[in-house]
Structure 1
Amino acid sequence: MERKWWETAVGYQIYPRSFYDSNNDGIGDLQGIIAKLPYIKALGVDFIWLNPIYASPNVDNGYDISDYQAIHPDFGTMADFKELLAKAHALDLKIIMDLVVNHTSDQHPWFQEALKGKDNPYRDYYLWADATPERMPNDWQSFFGGSTWQYDEKSKQAYFHIFAPEQPDLNWQNPKLRAEIYQMIRWWLDLGIDGFRLDAISHIQKAPWDFKITDNPWAPFMNVAGIDAYMQDLKEIFAEYPIVTVGEASGVTSKKAVNWTNRDGYLDMIFELEHQVREGKPGHERINVLGWKKVVSRWQKDLNQHGWNALYVENHDNPRINSILGNESEHSAKAIATAFMFMKGTPFIYQGQEIGMTNFPFTSVDQLDAKDSYNHYQELLKQGITPDEALQQICHWTRDHSRTPMQWEASHAAGFSQTKPWLAVHPNYQEINVSEQEKRPDSLLNFYKQAIALRKTALFVEGNYELHLPKHPQVIAYTRNTTNQSALVLVNLSDKEVVVDLPNRVVQSEAKVLLTNTSSQPLVKRMHLQPFAAFIYQLN
Structure 2
Amino acid sequence: MKSDWYKNAIIYQVDTGYFMDSNGDGIGDLGGVVKHLDYIRGIGATAIWLTPFYLTPFRDHGYDVQDHLQVDPRFGDLADMVFMLEQAEELGLHVIIELILQHTSREHIWFQEARKDRSSPYRDYYIWADEPPEHDEPPMFPGVENSVWSWDDRAQQFYRHMFYHHEPDLNLACPALIKEIERIIVFWLRLGVSGFRLDAASHMVKQAGQGEIKKGFPLLNHLRDFVGLRKPDTILLGEVDVPPEQYRDYFGDNDRLHMLLSFTLNKHMFLAFARKDARPLAKAIEEIPQPPLRACLANWLRNHDELDLGELSQAEQKEVIAAFGPAPDMYIYQRGLRRRLAPMFNNDTQRLAMAYAVLFSLPGTPIVRYGDEIGMGENLALSERNAVRTPMQWSGENNAGFSAAAAEKLIAPVINRGPNRYRLVNVNKSQIEDRSLLHLVSKMARTRLGCKEIGSGRWKMIHTQSPSILAIRYDSDGDALLMVTNLSDKKARVTIDQPDLMMLTELLGDQEYAASGTITTPCKFPVNGYGYRWFTLSKIPHSSAR
TM-score range, shorter chain: 0.7 to 0.9
Shift of 1:110: 0.8
Relative to structure 1, the CA distance from residue 187 to residue 304 in structure 2 (aligned partners, 3 Å threshold; closer, same or farther) is closer
Using a 3 Å threshold, how does the CA distance of structure 1 residues 97 and 286 change in structure 2: closer, same or farther?
farther
Letter in 1 for 2:393: Q
> Is residue 2:219 matched to residue 1:199?
no
For 2:195 and 2:180, locate their aligned partners in 1 and report how far apart those are by CA, in whole Å.
18
1:320 equivalent in structure 2 = 340
- Residue 368, structure 1, aligned to residue 413, structure 2: no
In the alignment, is the contact (CA less than 8 A) between 2:13 and 2:51 conserved in 1?
A: yes
**Superposed displacement of residue 503, structure 1:** 2.5
Amino acid of the residue matched to residue 533 of structure 1? G
C-alpha distance in structure 1 between counterparts of 2:181 and 2:71, whole Å: 17
Answer whether contact 1:259 1:307 (CA < 8 A) is retained: no
Deviation at 1:138, TM superposition (A): 3.6
- Please give the alpha-carbon distance, in whole angstroms, between the structure 2 residues aligned to 1:290 and 1:359: 29
User: What are the within-5 Å matches in structure 2 for residues 256-267 of structure 1?
Assistant: 256-261=246-251, 264-267=254-257
Q: Pick from 392, 399, 403 the counterpart of residue 389 of structure 2.
A: 403
Aligned match for 1:141, one of 128, 132, 138? 138
> Do the aligned partners of residues 149 and 26 (structure 1) sit closer, same or farther apart at CA in structure 2, a change above 3 Å counting?
same
Note closer, same or farther for the CA distance 1:80–1:286 as it changes in structure 2 (3 Å cut).
Answer: farther
Contact in 1 for aligned 2:172/2:207 (Cα 8 Å): no
Instruction: For residue 411 of structure 1, report the CA deviation from its aligned partner.
Output: 1.6
Within the candidate set 438, 445, 448, 1:452 is matched to 445
- The alignment status of 1:150 with 2:150, answered yes or no, reads yes
Quick one: which of 526, 530, 537 aligns to 1:539? Answer: 537
Q: Which one-letter code corresponds to 2:260 in the other structure?
A: I
- Cα distance 1:112–1:288, how it changes in 2: closer, same or farther (>3 A)? farther
Which structure 1 segments of 5+ residues have no match? 210-219, 374-398
Distance 2:2 2:174 in 1: 38
Which residue does 1:385 correspond to in 2?
none
- The 1-side partners of 2:496 and 2:4 are apart by 34
The answer to whether 1:32 aligns with 2:22 is no
Are 2:479 and 1:491 equivalent residues in the alignment?
no
C-alpha offsets along residues 14-38 of structure 1, whole Å, 9 cap, x if unaligned?
Answer: 0011111112222111111111111
Could you tell me which residue of structure 2 aligns to residue 423 of structure 1? 412
- The alpha-carbon distance between structure 1 residues 287 and 12, as it changes in their structure 2 partners (threshold 3 A), is farther
CA distance 1:88–1:405, change in 2 (3 Å)? same
Structure 2: how far apart are the matches of 1:42 and 1:279?
27
- Taking the TM superposition and a 5 Å limit, the aligned residue runs for 1:107-506 are 107-131=107-131, 137-145=134-142, 146-206=146-206, 224-240=213-229, 241=231, 242-251=233-242, 253-261=243-251, 264-277=254-267, 290-299=279-288, 301-303=289-291, 307-318=295-306, 319-324=339-344, 326-360=345-379, 362=380, 367-369=381-383, 373=384, 399-418=385-404, 419-420=406-407, 421-426=410-415, 427=417, 428=420, 429-457=422-450, 458-469=452-463, 474-494=468-488, 496-505=489-498
Offset, 1:472: 6.0
Could you tell me how far apart the structure 2 residues matched to 1:280 and 1:148 are? 30
Could you tell me how far apart the structure 2 residues matched to 1:469 and 1:170 are? 47
Deviation string for 1:409-432 (max 9, x for gaps)? 122222112232322323322222
Compared with structure 1, are the counterparts of its residues 208 and 490 closer, same or farther at alpha carbon in structure 2 (3 Å cutoff)? closer
How many residue pairs get matched? 487
Question: Counterparts of 1:7-86 in structure 2 under 5 Å?
Answer: 7-86=7-86
CA distance in 1, matches of 2:76, 2:270: 43
TM, length-normalised to structure 1: 0.82
The superposition leaves residues 187-231 of structure 1 with CA deviations (integer Å, 9 ceiling, x where unpaired) of: 11122211111111221244799xxxxxxxxxx96x712112211
Amino acid at match of 1:320: R
Q: Is the 8 A contact 2:254 2:292 kept in 1?
A: no
How far, CA to CA, are the matches of 1:499 and 1:298 in structure 2?
26
Query: 1:461 and 1:123, CA in 2 relative to 1: closer, same or farther beyond 3 A?
Result: closer
Deviations along 1:76-113, one digit per CA (max 9) or x if unpaired, are 11111111111111222221110000111000011111
Matched residues in 2 for 1:206 and 1:9: separation?
30
Amino acid at match of 2:297: N
SS of 1:247's equivalent in the other structure is: strand
Distance 1:128 1:285 in 2: 44
Is contact 1:294–1:470 with CA below 8 Å preserved after alignment? no
CA distance in structure 2 between the partners assigned to 1:205 and 1:41 by the alignment: 34
Q: CA deviation at 1:246?
A: 0.6
| Greater shift in the superposed pair: 52-61 or 155-164 | 155-164
Structure 1 Cα separation of the partners of residues 123 and 388 of structure 2? 37
Partner Cα separation in structure 2 for residue 287 and residue 411 of structure 1: 38
Amino acid at match of 2:240: A
1:530–1:274 Cα change, 3 Å: same
Q: Output the CA distance in 1 between the equivalents of 2:481 and 2:437.
A: 22
Deviations 1:302-330 (A, max 9, x none): 32767311122222114323443x34222
CA positional deviation for 1:52: 0.3
**So what's the TM-score if we normalise by structure 2?**
0.81
Using the alignment, how far apart are the partners of 1:117 and 1:201 within structure 2?
30
TM-aligned CA distance change 1:122 to 1:463, over 3 Å: closer
Q: Distance in 1 between matches of 2:274 and 2:463?
A: 24
Looking at structure 1, the residues matched to 44 and 266 of structure 2 have their Cα atoms a distance apart, in angstroms, of 27
C-alpha distance in 1, partners of 2:276/2:98?
A: 27
Q: Kindly state the Cα deviation for residue 443 of structure 1 after the two structures are TM-superposed.
A: 2.6
Percent same amino acid among aligned pairs?
30
Distance in 2 separating the partners of 1:434 and 1:507: 45
> Hey, what's the Cα distance between the residues in 1 that align with 2:435 and 2:500?
28
* 1:236-261 C-alpha deviation (Å, 9 max, x unpaired): 1111212122111223x434323533
1:142-174 Cα offsets, whole Å, 9 max, x none, are: 102221100124554211010001000011121
Amino acid across the alignment from 1:271: L
1:515-526 residue pairs with structure 2 within 5 A? 515-521=508-514
The whole-number CA distance in structure 2 between the counterparts of 1:472 and 1:401 is 37
Q: Aligned partners of 1:157, 1:414: CA distance in 2, in Å?
A: 48
Deviation per CA, 1:1-26: give whole Å up to 9, x if none.
Answer: 87522223221110011111112222
Contact 2:88 2:95 in 1 (8 A): yes
CA shift, 1:346, in A, is: 1.9
